[in-house]
């Protein structure tokens, strides 16, 4: 809940305005053609309450909270990481309304390597990122899922 997060009054207000309020009046917004925000990136040093803020968004808006550690989706087997991303979003749709929280999103969304300079590892990362972006695009069509991501290194994100 918001009262569990000490301080950060301005950040909490922005999260309410950007994520909570629009979804509570989504019917009115859709009639007026207003595009809703479906996700937000939280960044800052370790220990600055990014995860707690994401949990508060879910709790205060009555949504299921799916906590994903970015590196946990990665697999050494070809195609398994992409499948894990698809499975995650399938679960998010099944338990909707939901908040999908990606902690350490930079592990999944590092800048893409060019095809000419790509090695096997970067090619796999590119495929995971492509799958993630495809799923993010699908979320825009569904008001019941919000994406909250966190990183200590926003400069690494593609």
Domain boundaries, the chain: 2-156
Look at residue 38 in the predicted model and tell me its pLDDT. Answer: 79
Look at residue 66 in the predicted model and tell me its pLDDT. Answer: 97
Look at residue 59 in the predicted model and tell me its pLDDT. Answer: 93
Helix boundaries (H) for the chain:
9-15, 21-24, 26-32, 50-60, 80-94, 120-139
Look at residue 150 in the predicted model and tell me its pLDDT. Answer: 96
Q: Is the pLDDT of residue 118 over 60?
A: no
Look at residue 115 in the predicted model and tell me its pLDDT. Answer: 55
Look at residue 1 in the predicted model and tell me its pLDDT. Answer: 83
Q: Is the pLDDT of residue 7 over 90?
A: no
- pLDDT category, 148, cuts 50, 70, 90? very high
User: Between 73 and 66, whose confidence is greater?
Assistant: 66
**Model pTM score:** 0.83
Look at residue 105 in the predicted model and tell me its pLDDT. Answer: 92
**Dihedral sign, Cα of residue 149, residue 107, residue 93, residue 56:** negative
Q: Is the pLDDT of residue 29 over 70?
A: no
**Of 76, 87, 125, which Cα lies nearest the Cα of 105?**
125
When pLDDT is averaged across residues 116-126 and rounded to a whole number, the result is: 63
Burial class (CB in 10 A: 0-12, 13-18, 19+), 135: buried
Q: Are 153 and 50 in contact (CB under 8 A)?
A: no
Distance between CA atoms of residues 131 and 43, nearest Å: 23
Task: Give the homologous superfamily in CATH for domain 2-156.
Answer: P-loop containing nucleotide triphosphate hydrolases (3.40.50.300)
Look at residue 98 in the predicted model and tell me its pLDDT. Answer: 93
Look at residue 32 in the predicted model and tell me its pLDDT. Answer: 63
Phi, psi of 110 (to 5 degrees): -65, 155
User: Between 60 and 65, whose confidence is greater?
Assistant: 65
**Dihedral sign, Cα of residue 117, residue 122, residue 125, residue 127:** positive
């Amino acid at each position: 809940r918001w009262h569990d997060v000490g301080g950060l009054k301005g950040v909490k207000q922005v999260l309410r305005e950007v994520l909570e309020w629009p979804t509570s009046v989504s019917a009115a917004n859709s009639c007026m053609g207003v595009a809703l925000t479906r996700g937000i990136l939280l960044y800052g040093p370790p220990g600055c309450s990014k995860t707690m803020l994401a949990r508060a968004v879910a709790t205060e808006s009555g949504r299921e909270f799916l906590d994903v550690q970015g590196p946990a989706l990665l697999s050494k087997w070809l195609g398994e990481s992409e499948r894990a991303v698809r499975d995650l979003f399938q679960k998010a749709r099944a338990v909707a309304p939901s908040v999908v929280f990606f902690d350490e999103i930079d592990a999944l969304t590092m800048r893409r390597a060019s095809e000419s300079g790509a090695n096997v590892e970067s090619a796999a990362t590119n495929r995971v990122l492509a799958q993630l972006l495809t799923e993010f695009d699908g979320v825009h069509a569904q008001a019941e899922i919000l994406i909250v991501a966190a990183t200590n290194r926003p400069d690494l994100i593609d």
